[in-house]
């Protein structure tokens, strides 16, 4: 007896597994934490790559995120970017291309890329950062910044700016 048999395990091991396992068109995602809405995200297309060693999710055509703080649940902060990627196991986000962040306090940050390490609760960039505070003052971090992920503290590298100072009354001179 003769038989023609092909070992399928050898052929399948050479095939690429780096393709989207899920694709969501016109995505609108709501993330909740104990019933509290912590995030809302919109994107024209979201692709999940789950069949590889380091799974990730990507929004190639941009993303618009609202994030909510339990201290101020009515006023969301926002993040907008032309591209975003989330690495599942590392809990690490990156956003690139005309990144705009508005905190729930009203401060506005503009840069070309930003990275968020969710485990370390740290946001950073090496790009020039332009900040407009809600009081109208401006700040430029020429070589980037590092911040807590709630923007309660941040550090700018080689900064400059225009700060509003309170007026000193004649009685205090």
Q: Residue 8: left (phi > 0), alpha (psi -120 to 50), or beta? A: alpha
**pLDDT tens digit sequence for 99-148:** 999 998 889 999 999 999 989 989 999 999 998 988 888 888 888 899 99
- Of the candidates 26, 21, 38, 110, the residue with the CA atom closest to the CA atom of residue 63: 26
pLDDT at residue 168 is higher than 50: no
Q: How far apart are CA 163 and CA 26, in angstroms?
A: 41
88: confidence class by pLDDT, cuts 50, 70, 90: confident
Asked if the structure places residue 6 within a domain, the reply is no
Asked if the structure places residue 7 within a domain, the reply is no
Asked if the structure places residue 159 within a domain, the reply is yes
| pTM for the structure as a whole | 0.78
Instruction: Please state which of the ranges 22-26, 86-90, 162-166 shows the lowest mean pLDDT.
Output: 162-166
Q: Is 131 helix (H, G, I), strand (E, B) or coil?
A: strand
CATH code: domain of residue 158? 2.60.450.10
Q: Is 13 helix (H, G, I), strand (E, B) or coil?
A: helix
> What DSSP designation does 106 have?
S
Asked if the structure places residue 1 within a domain, the reply is no
Domain that holds residue 69: 22-164
Tell how strand 145-148 and strand 154-156 pair up. Answer: antiparallel
Q: How many independent structural domains does the chain possess?
A: 1
């Amino acid at each position: 007896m003769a038989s023609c048999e092909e070992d399928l395990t050898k052929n399948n091991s050479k095939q690429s597994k780096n393709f989207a396992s899920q694709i969501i068109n016109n995505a609108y995602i709501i993330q909740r934490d104990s019933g509290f809405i912590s995030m809302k995200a919109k994107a024209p297309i979201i692709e999940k790559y789950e069949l590889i060693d380091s799974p990730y999710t990507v929004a190639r055509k941009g993303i618009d995120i609202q994030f909510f703080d339990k201290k101020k649940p009515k006023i969301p902060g926002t993040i907008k970017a032309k591209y975003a990627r989330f690495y599942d196991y590392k809990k690490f986000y990156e956003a690139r291309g005309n990144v705009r962040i508005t905190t729930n306090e009203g401060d506005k940050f503009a840069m070309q890329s930003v990275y968020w390490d969710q485990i370390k609760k740290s946001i950073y960039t090496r790009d020039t950062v332009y900040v407009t505070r809600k009081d109208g003052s401006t700040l430029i971090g020429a070589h980037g910044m590092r911040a807590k992920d709630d923007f309660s503290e941040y550090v700018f590298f080689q900064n400059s700016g225009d700060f509003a100072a309170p007026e000193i009354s004649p009685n205090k001179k």
